[in-house]
Amino acid sequence: MAGSTYGSIFRITTWGESHGKALGVVIDGCPAGLELTEEDIQRYLDRRKPGASSIATPRKEEDRVEILSGVFEGRTTGTPISLMVRNTSQKSGDYSEIASFYRPGHADYTYDAKYGFRDYRGGGRSSGRETVGRVAAGAVACKVLERLGVTVYAYTRSIGPVEADMERFDREIGRRTLTAMPDERADEAALRYLEEARQDRDSVGGCMECLVEGLPPGIGEPVFDKLDANLAKAIMSIGAVKAVEIGDGCRVSARRGSENNDEFHGRDGVIVKASNHGGGILGGISDGDRLVVRAHVKPTPSIFRTQKTVNRGGEEIEINIRGRHDPVIVPRAVVVMECMTALTVLDAMLMNMSARMPDIETFYRFRE
């Protein structure tokens, strides 16, 4: 209710601030019997680390995860999995000057308005570091999904005006470029654009996309907990995201029905669609096609130009933000999008297990 819990059956609760002692997550509702190691989770956390000095903050973030509970003899026990990452390199001194004023584009003012005061060190709970818990939990969700034949893949679609050429889309490339673009030429162009912005002491926005494959039809609940509604919430909850699209998204509003409807076909006894404008969801429920979700991310609000703002007393002042800040958020947010998508899809799949009257054999499948 107070905002740090997500999911119904596979439910996570994250905690921690940018400059606190640690950050972490508790997963309650992970099915028992999943093989799980710290390494499984570390791989995801490593993907949200700063990639390279030119586009990401050079802060050294070790972010070593520790499994504190819920795993025994290498397998999940069905009870809460507590995951923690100690903050090691944050120095409170770096940020203390922001205590007294409100940075444009940041949550400083709104946290003060809500709570009466705030942990101003590095943005506190509103910092991007909050996503450590999401990614640690998402790594577990991804592993469960894998076992059920479902894969989740996110990548950078555009940075500023530079867009990936989908003709050249290559998953492996998306995993290793600094921008997380799945197209090497676009990656290079984007890096040049970022370098320009940096020299302008400015930052840039971007767009990321997530694809889910292997999802059977029938996943998602009607009305309020539609799969697309829950995805929209999950993705919009990532800091700096300002728009979420499903399938063709915004483009549908200028279309005719005859263009936009996806015809059904039969192929080898399976029902498929001739196109996928809908992004794999009909009436809020998966249709067996590839899920397509897109998010638009604002430019990093911390820029190195003099900006006008007010202090806590409402007096107008000029400020210069110091410190280390990524000039673009998207490349490191890609793994967060992947994780939030995985958490949403897995929760919907588990929820769906009771959608139909279970026959007694299925219900008691575990009894010998």
- Kindly identify the residues of this chain, within the stretch 53-92, that bind its own copies according to CB under 8 A: 66-70, 72-73, 75-82, 84
Beta carbon of residue 87, minimum distance to its own copies (angstroms, whole number): 10
Distance CA(281)–CA(300), nearest Å, equals: 32
Distance CA(159)–CA(208), nearest Å, equals: 9
1 or 167: whose CB is closer to its own copies? 1
181 or 207: whose CB is closer to its own copies? 207
Distance CA(101)–CA(316), nearest Å, equals: 10
Signed CA dihedral, 127, 151, 330, 326: sign only: positive
Distance CA(64)–CA(41), nearest Å, equals: 9
Q: Does residue 323 bind its own copies (CB under 8 A)?
A: no
Give the binding range for its own copies (CB under 8 A) out of 43-51, 168-176, 184-192, 304-312. 304-312
Give the binding range for its own copies (CB under 8 A) out of 57-65, 164-172, 180-188, 349-357. 349-357
Q: Does residue 242 bind its own copies (CB under 8 A)?
A: yes
The CB-side HSE value for 191 (13 A sphere, CA atoms) comes to 16
Provide the 3-class DSSP secondary structure of residue 54. coil
Q: Does residue 166 bind its own copies (CB under 8 A)?
A: no
Beta carbon of residue 188, minimum distance to its own copies (angstroms, whole number): 19
Q: Does residue 11 bind its own copies (CB under 8 A)?
A: yes
Q: Does residue 97 bind its own copies (CB under 8 A)?
A: no
Give the binding range for its own copies (CB under 8 A) out of 42-50, 171-179, 181-189, 211-219. 211-219
Q: What angle do CA 267, 272, 275 make, to 5 degrees?
A: 120
Q: Does residue 50 bind its own copies (CB under 8 A)?
A: no
Q: Does residue 105 bind its own copies (CB under 8 A)?
A: yes
Q: Does residue 52 bind its own copies (CB under 8 A)?
A: no
Give the pairing type, strands 71-72 and 151-159.
Answer: unpaired
Distance CA(292)–CA(248), nearest Å, equals: 8
Give the binding range for its own copies (CB under 8 A) out of 22-30, 47-55, 165-173, 331-339. 22-30
Specify the amino acid at residue 43: R
Beta bridge partners of 265: 272
